[in-house]
Chains A and B, each alone.
Chain A
Amino acid sequence: MSTTEETIKDIVVKIVHCEREVLTPESTFQDMKADSLDMVQVLVALEDEFGIEIPDEDAQKFKNFSDFVTYVEARIAEKK
Chain B
Amino acid sequence: MQRVVVTGMGTVCPLGLNIEEFWTNLVAGKSGVGLISRFDATNYPVKVAAEVRNFDPTKHMDLKIAERTQRDVHFAITATKEAIAQARLDMTKEQSERVGIISSNMLNHRYVAEGWEILQKKGPRRADPLFFTKGAPSSICLQLGMLLGARGPSTSVNSLCASGADTIGNAMNFIRLGYADVMIAAASDASLGEMAIAALSVLGALTKEPDPDKASRPFDLNRNGFVYGEGCGVLILESLEHAKKRGAPILAEVAGAAWTFDAHDTTAPHPDTEAMAMKLALQNAGAKPEEVDYINAHGTSTKLNDVSETKAVKMVFGDRAYKIPISAHKSMFGHMVTAGGAVESIGAILAINNGIIPPTIHYDTPDPECDLDYVPNIARQAEINVCLKESFGLGGQNCCLVFKRFKEI
Band of interface residues on B: 10 to 19
Mark each residue of chain A from 38 to 64: 1 if its CB lies under 8 Å from any CB of chain B, else 0. Answer: 001100100110000100000000000
> Given the complex, which residues of A lie within 8 Å of B63, measured CB to CB?
17
Residues from chain A with a CB closer than 8 A to the CB of B130 are 37, 41
Report the bound CA distance from A48 to B124 in whole Å.
12
| Residues of the A chain whose Cβ atoms lie less than 8 Å from the Cβ of B68 | 37
B122 at the A interface (CB under 8 A) = yes
- Complex CA gap A17/B129 in Å reads 17
Q: Is the CB of B122 within 8 A of A48?
A: yes
B64 interface contact, C-beta 8 A? yes
A41/B126 in contact, CB under 8 A:
no
Which B residues lie within 8 Å of A48 (CB)? 122, 126
Q: Are A44 and B126 neighbours in the complex by a CB distance under 8 Å?
A: yes
Chain B residues with CB below 8 A from A37, complex form: 68, 129-130, 133
- B245 on the A face (CB < 8 A): no
Chain B residues with CB under 8 Å of A16's CB are 64
Q: Is B93 an interface residue (CB 8 A)?
A: no
**Chain A proximity of B313: nearest CB distance (Å):** 49
Main secondary structure of the interface of B (DSSP, over half): helix
Instruction: Check: B59 CB closer than 8 A to any chain A CB.
Output: no
Bound complex: CA of A16 vs CA of B62, how far in Å?
12
Interface residue ranges of A23-47 to B (CB < 8 Å): 37, 40-41, 44, 47
Given A40-B129, A41-B129, check contact A17 B64 (CB 8 Å): yes
Contacts of B62 in A (CB 8 A): 17
| Complex Cα–Cα for A17 and B122 (A) | 26
Q: Are A53 and B129 in contact (CB under 8 A)?
A: no
Asked if A44 contacts B64 (CB within 8 A), the reply is no
A47-B129 in contact (CB<8A): no
Collect the chain B residues with CB atoms within 8 Å of residue A47's CB. 125-126
* Residues on the A chain within 8 Å of B133, using CB: 37
Whether A44 pairs with B129 at a CB distance below 8 angstroms is yes
A48 to B123, CA, bound (A): 11
Find residues 21-70 in chain B having any chain A CB closer than 8 Å to their own CB. Answer: 62-64, 68
Contact pattern, B 93-133, Cβ under 8 Å of A = 1, otherwise 0: 00000000000000000000000000000100111111001
Residues of B within 8 A of A44 (CB): 125-129
> In whole Å, how far is B338's beta carbon from the nearest beta carbon of chain A?
25
Residue of B with least CB distance to A33: B64
Residues of A within 8 A of B129 (CB): 37, 40-41, 44
Distance between A71 CB and nearest chain B CB, rounded to angstroms: 17
Residues in A whose Cβ lies below 8 Å from that of B126? 44, 47-48
A28 to chain B, nearest CB (A): 19
Query: How far apart are B124's CB and chain A's nearest CB, in angstroms?
Result: 11
Instruction: Provide the bound-state CA to CA distance between A44 and B124, in Å.
Output: 11
Q: Which residues of the partner chain B approach A41 to less than 8 Å between Cβ atoms?
A: 129-130
In this complex, what residue of A is CB-closest to B64? Answer: A17
| Additional 10 contacts, C-beta under 8 A, given A37-B129, A37-B130, A47-B125 | A16-B64, A37-B68, A37-B133, A40-B129, A44-B126, A44-B127, A44-B128, A47-B126, A48-B122, A53-B125
Which 3 pairs across A and B sit closest by C-beta, in order of nearness? Answer: A40-B129, A17-B64, A41-B129
Chain A to chain B contacts (Cβ below 8 Å), 20 pairs: A16-B64, A17-B62, A17-B63, A17-B64, A37-B68, A37-B129, A37-B130, A37-B133, A41-B129, A41-B130, A44-B125, A44-B126, A44-B127, A44-B128, A44-B129, A47-B125, A47-B126, A48-B122, A48-B126, A53-B125
